[in-house]
Amino acid sequence: MIDRFIRTINEVFFKDPQLWDGVDGDKMKNDFDTSNKSLDQIQKSLQDYLETKKKYFPRFYFLSDEQLLEILSQSRDPTMVQKHVNKCFEAINLLQFDDKELVYGMISPENEIVPLSATIDVNDPDKKGHVEKWLLEIENQMKATLRQISKESNTDLTERNLWVQKYPAMVVLAINMIRWTFNVEQSIKSLEHSPNSVFDLQEKLN
């Protein structure tokens, strides 16, 4: 209705270059006021709709309303989220989709690939067309995957120069700090019985 009204008004103004001469007094003003009120209601409804999506998947707050609308309007094509995924997840540049539109991995801005511990079917009946649902599942799977990899790397006794190449870089950094802290604490606790324990650890680390 508003679109039709604006088109009609534009036609009137187009035919008559004298813009204000084409305004039909109070009636035209009332029509504009009515249209403005309708637009305000539409805008509020749109904001409420976007807010429900953001509350379900809070990482949408990192996007502008225009970007979020672009994602939601193209929800039938899950791969269209790729251009915005790096705004939702700081260290994920792209998601890996197979030909059946299953998400099976994450790609960092440095092109480091981390396979997910379980694939995510974005076309599952409960999630199809609801991008916020399968993105939330990706977030949960991302956490579960990195938790599992971290546990594995922490107990892996592979020679260090091979160990650092075996796991994702951020996992290596995190587990390296855990191991360093644990070893330093143990060395300090051993000082009473082994006065050189800290120096021995330093030599080992060097």
Domain shared by 74 and 121, yes or no = yes
Per the structure, the count of domains in the chain is 3
Model confidence at 114: pLDDT above 80: yes
Average pLDDT value for residue range 196-201? 87
Domain shared by 78 and 90, yes or no = yes
Q: Print the domain residue range for 113.
A: 57-153
Q: Which of 28-37, 40-49, 84-93, 154-163 has the lowest mean pLDDT?
A: 28-37
Domain shared by 125 and 70, yes or no = yes
The domain that holds 143 is classified in CATH as: 3.20.180.20
Domain shared by 85 and 130, yes or no = yes
Domain shared by 134 and 84, yes or no = yes
Q: What pTM was computed for the model?
A: 0.75
Residues with Cβ within 8 Å of residue 106, at least 6 apart in sequence: 89, 92, 94, 95, 96, 113, 114, 116, 142
Determine the pLDDT at residue 14: 67
Determine the pLDDT at residue 12: 63
**Domain boundary residue, one of 38, 55, 72:** 55
**Domain boundary residue, one of 16, 35, 55:** 55
Instruction: Give percent of the chain above pLDDT 70.
Output: 86
Domain shared by 46 and 63, yes or no = no
Domain shared by 100 and 175, yes or no = no
Question: Mind listing the pLDDT tens digit for each residue in 27-54?
Answer: 666 766 777 787 788 889 889 999 999 9
Domain shared by 83 and 129, yes or no = yes
**Domain boundary residue, one of 55, 72, 92:** 55
Domain shared by 115 and 67, yes or no = yes
Q: Is 104 exposed, middle or buried (0-12, 13-18, 19+ CB in 10 A)?
A: middle
Q: What is the mean pLDDT of the chain?
A: 87
Average pLDDT value for residue range 193-203? 86
Q: Which of 30-34, 103-107, 188-192 has the lowest mean pLDDT?
A: 30-34
Domain shared by 62 and 147, yes or no = yes
Domain shared by 97 and 68, yes or no = yes
175 phi/psi in degrees, rounded to 5: -70, -35
Domain shared by 91 and 28, yes or no = no
Residues with Cβ within 8 Å of residue 203, at least 6 apart in sequence: none
Model confidence at 192: pLDDT above 90: no
